[in-house]
Amino acid sequence: MTAQTTHTAGAGGSDVAEDPVPVVRAVGLVKRYGDLAAVDGVDLTVPAGAVYGLLGPNGAGKTTFMRILFGLIRPDEGRIELFGRSELAGRVEALEDVAGFVETPRFYPYMSARANLEALATLDRRVSADRIPELLEQVELTDRARSKVGEFSYGMVQRLGVAAALMRSPRLLVLDEPTNGLDPAGIRDMRALISRLASTGITVLLSSHNMLEVEEVCGHVAIMRRGRLAFDGSMAELRAMAQDVEYRLVTGDDARAADVCRGAPGVSNVRTATDGIRLDSRPGPVEALTARLGAMGIGIRQLELPITALETLFFRLTEGDAAGEAAAA
């Protein structure tokens, strides 16, 4: 999808203004490791101002894509442009206005947080170390500025990674699984930080394997599966696709209830399990089903959505067959 028109980004995103030059444009990107295609013909366009989620299970190719974006590895085929600049291949010019981290941000453990940021400011040359106190405050690490990074928790290193990225005053912020390994409070704070940054106009490309996180933060999403794009579009488009939801139903007589479910209109994929009956449907048919079960004297003990509609779609896209993938794309 080439999202270069004005539209509403959806949850967590901002309105995307028309921009003739996309922030990221990947064309026919391929990276192979032996017989395995980690990235297999990916075409992706990230418009300016978007909070773009790159979603997929572990091993889907998200991190490989981001490594190519940063010039850390070379694609076997295709190219990637940042702000219209190609010739990535590690060239410094291509990474102007771009910052972020791939996998866990890494620092020198024998140096303090401040010394690490000062070293990175020196490498960035045009970046002033004067901003370091402000950035440390922004990621709530002011108190640990002089502590060695080797003593930091995982979450603190993640936050320091964000500070290191922001030091470059980027127009594109690339974050690879930024909430990985964080505790619930850390996850909440990181998401809030990303939303806050996005509201300042920075384009954010965020990888995650968590549909809920992407749904909360991103306005656009690309879903990767085995190196390929299974979906690429706005959250609104994804939601429109995600109509059938998986329900879990527990009744007083699951065997009879399952037979009723199988014959109910608008209900599909009925399967029985030890914890009840699972079925795919929508609110209307489910309402009719529950009324019918009640009329037949089958008591309903529990009816719940184990996963959201988007999660259901995500699992279908990332675990489903090639036909489903093609239909989604």
Partner 1 sequence: MSPFAAVYRVETRKLLAQTRVRALLLFLLVVPWIYIGLILHQDRLPLETLYGRYLKDTGFATPLAILVYASQWVLPLIAALLAGDVFSSEDQLGTLKTILTRSVGRTAVFWGKLAAVFSFTVLAIVIVAVSATLAGVITVGNDPLVDVGGHLRSASSAAGLVAISWATVVLPTLAFGAIAMMVSILTRSSVLGVIVPVVIGLVMQLYTFLNAWDTVRHLLLGWTMSAWRGVMDSPSYYTPLARGLVVSAVYLVVATTVAFVVFRRRDVAGG
Q: Which residues bind partner 1 (CB under 8 A)?
A: 67, 70-74, 90-92, 95-96, 98-111, 115, 119-120, 122-127, 164, 168
Q: Which two tokens stand for residue 292?
A: 């019918």
- Residue 152 or 231 with smaller CB distance to partner 1: 152
| Shortest separation between residue 114's beta carbon and partner 1, angstroms | 12
| Shortest separation between residue 111's beta carbon and partner 1, angstroms | 5
| Shortest separation between residue 92's beta carbon and partner 1, angstroms | 5
| Shortest separation between residue 119's beta carbon and partner 1, angstroms | 5
d(Cα 313, Cα 309) in Å, to the nearest integer? Answer: 6
Q: Give yes or no for a contact between 32 and 76, defined as CB atoms under 8 angstroms apart.
A: yes
- Residue 120 or 309 with smaller CB distance to partner 1: 120
Give, as one character, the DSSP assignment of residue 97.
T
In 160-307, which ranges are E strands? Answer: 172-176, 203-208, 220-225, 228-234, 245-251, 268-273, 276-281, 300-304
Q: Which two tokens stand for residue 270?
A: 């009925």
d(Cα 41, Cα 61) in Å, to the nearest integer? Answer: 11
CA dist 149 → 36, 114, 145, 163, 220 (Å): 36, 9, 9, 13, 34
- Residue 47 or 161 with smaller CB distance to partner 1: 161
Q: Identify the residue whose tokens are 């990181």.
A: 190
- Residue 14 or 203 with smaller CB distance to partner 1: 203
Q: Which residues of 25-48 are buried (b: 16+ CB within 10 A; e: fewer)?
A: bbbebbbeeeeebbbbebebbbbb
- Residue 121 or 279 with smaller CB distance to partner 1: 121
| Shortest separation between residue 106's beta carbon and partner 1, angstroms | 4
- Residue 176 or 232 with smaller CB distance to partner 1: 176
d(Cα 232, Cα 28) in Å, to the nearest integer? Answer: 15
| Shortest separation between residue 158's beta carbon and partner 1, angstroms | 13
